[in-house]
Every structure is written in structure tokens, then in C-alpha cells.
Structure 1
Amino acid sequence: MVDTADQARQVVSATRYPPYGERGVGASVARAARWGRIENYMAQVNDSLCLLVQVESKTALDNLDEILDVEGIDGVFIGPADLSASLGYPDNAGHPEVQRIIETSIRRIRAAGKAAGFLAVAPDMAQQCLAWGANFVAVGVDSLLHDALQRCPGSTTGDV
């Protein structure tokens, strides 16, 4: 999770090999590089990385444009639970104001030419985020299974 452009730059640096970052180079001669047999391993990794940062706070949204400007950030993943709490609506990611802010954020991310993602706990929210322009949606499978079990008459006794 990042809140500032400085934190985003630190993440970029930690994931890139020199000269673009400070990632340790031991893997370039170890198993990841087939014991040094992959030619130009570090350059290939630097070129093929897709780096997504997660934003989950009002502070992060206040700094979103600066975070999006960080070279090496390919996309932003929005986490709704902590975000809604940070916005003053704890345990209520479905609040209309939270939903408006999520929609606006997805549109800002896409307008910056970056990928926008979202963690959805229900299929309708996943569809809504895709309609707003999200490139990808992670779906909380455990919550979907829980809801499905609750709707199956006679399949459980008591709370699941």
C-alpha cells in the first residue's frame, strides 16, 4: 500500500535491478536466471515487469496524480475496505460517496494511461468497476462462497 509518490518511487526502486533500482542482483546468477544462463537477465526483468501499487487511503487519493506520475508504476489497485474507513465510512464501502470516489479514481487512473484495478466482494460491484473503466478486478472468492452457501436452503445449519 502506498500513500505518496515518494513511497511509490521506493517500490519502483525495490523491484528494478540497477541501474533503474536497488533490487539485489543475486538472483541474476541464481535459479531465477537459470544459474546465469539467461543472457541479459536483469535487463529482461526490468523490461518485463508490471508494477501495480495499492491505494487504500484518503491520503493516497489526495496524492494520486503524483503517484501516477512516478516512472515505473504501471497501474493502481484500489482496496475498498480500508479506503472506505479512511474516508469516514468504516465497514461501508457501498456508501454512495465512497462509490463516487472509487469511480472518479478509476477514471483518473485510466486517464493517466495506467491500469486500474479493484477488489470486489460481489459480482455486481465487479461489473460496476469494469463499467467505470477498470482493467482488472480481483474477486473475493471466500465472500462469494459464503454468500452462495447462505442462499442454499438446508445446506447448512446456523451461521457459516
Structure 2
Amino acid sequence: PVLDAGAMGIIFPMIRSAADAEAAVQSLRYPPAGERGFGPFYAPLRFGLEMQTYADPADREILCILLIEHKDAIDDIKNIVQVPGVDACLIAPFDLAMSYGYRDGADHDEVQAGIAKAEKVIRKSSLTLGGLALNNELANDMIKRGYRLILTGFDTLLLQRAAGDILSGIDRDD
């Protein structure tokens, strides 16, 4: 339904292997290149196009972004980045840490080694390296390390920050 509504990219969670990456790519492409359903009534109409006029560019232009958030993905990262049709890999340190058994964040040698391995392999590939930066300092550090797709938040976090900013300016003495 998301693609049929006209989305031009999907971020796939919990990719653990090259096989998972291949399945992600297949789900985005129309036959014969993939397994995407036909759904000719939404996206083509949104753009005012005939189905064939929409399908060919959609197959070429839709973004396939993989979340690297499990230690199994780190183990198979060299194969994951070789899957045709993948555009970017986003490293998710907190979920990655959880997969290593750490619930208190990514500041553990094992997790940091996994992140460094993934960064190195992704940078050497043709894919875009991405991740989440919760502040300017981290974003600048990530740029220096070769990140080119930097998320600065997600819906609940951004809403929480905005509400906090508003509440911090309210005089509550009355």
C-alpha cells in the first residue's frame, strides 16, 4: 500500500543477510525484475500517468534503504552491499547493541567494532552510508566518517522535542 500510494523509497528494518536484502529489492520492483504487486490505481493516478509510464521510472528510481541493526547483518555485510538494487545502508547503533545483548546503548567495544566494520565495507561499496545523528556534534563526526545520509530524528522524537521547547517557554507560576 505504501508504494501504491506513491512512495519513492522504503527503509527496510532488521535486514540480517544478503537474502533479506534481495527480498527487499524484489518487493520494490515490478515483474519481471521483481515481485511488486500491480496496484495501477494509486501511484500512477497521483502523478497523472499511465501505468507503463509510471512503472518503468519507478523501477529505476525507487530507493531501497536497508537498516543494519543486527549483528547477523554485520557478519554478512560484505554480501549485503553487493546486492543489486540496494541504494543505501543505515546503521542503527542502539538496535545493533541490543542484538549483541546490551540494553544500555552502543558504547561497548563489540558494538563499536561492528559499527566500524559496517562503515568500512559500506564506504568501499557504491552504496550510501547513513545513520541517525541526535545532535550537531554527532552529525559532523558522522560526515567526517563518510556518512552521506543523516537522519536528524524520527517522528516521536521530533514531536517530543517540539513539545518540550514549547513547554519550556511557558510560565507555570500561575
TM-score (norm 1): 0.80
Q: From the superposition, tell whether residues 97 and 120 of structure 1 become closer, same or farther in structure 2 (CA, over 3 Å).
A: farther
Contact persistence 1:55–1:79 (CA under 8 A): yes
Q: Which runs of 5+ in 1 are unaligned?
A: none
Distance in 2 separating the partners of 1:9 and 1:124: 35
Give the 5 Å matches for 1:109-148: 109-140=122-153, 142=157, 145=161
Q: From the superposition, tell whether residues 95 and 145 of structure 1 become closer, same or farther in structure 2 (CA, over 3 Å).
A: farther
Higher relative contact order structure (alpha carbons within 8 Å, sequence separation ≥ 6): 2
Distance in 2 separating the partners of 1:61 and 1:121: 23
Percent identical residues:
30
- Using the TM superposition, name which of 122-131 and 76-85 deviates more: 122-131
SS in 1 for 2:90: strand
- Using the TM superposition, name which of 88-97 and 131-140 deviates more: 88-97
Contact persistence 2:63–2:87 (CA under 8 A): yes
Equivalenced residue count is: 151
- Using the TM superposition, name which of 88-97 and 16-25 deviates more: 88-97
Distance in 1 separating the partners of 2:111 and 2:144: 16
**CA deviation after TM superposition for structure 1 residue 133, in Å:** 0.2
Q: Which runs of 5+ in 2 are unaligned?
A: 1-12
TM-score (norm 2): 0.74
- Runs (4+) off by over 4 Å: 154-157
* RMSD (Å) for aligned C-alpha atoms: 2.7
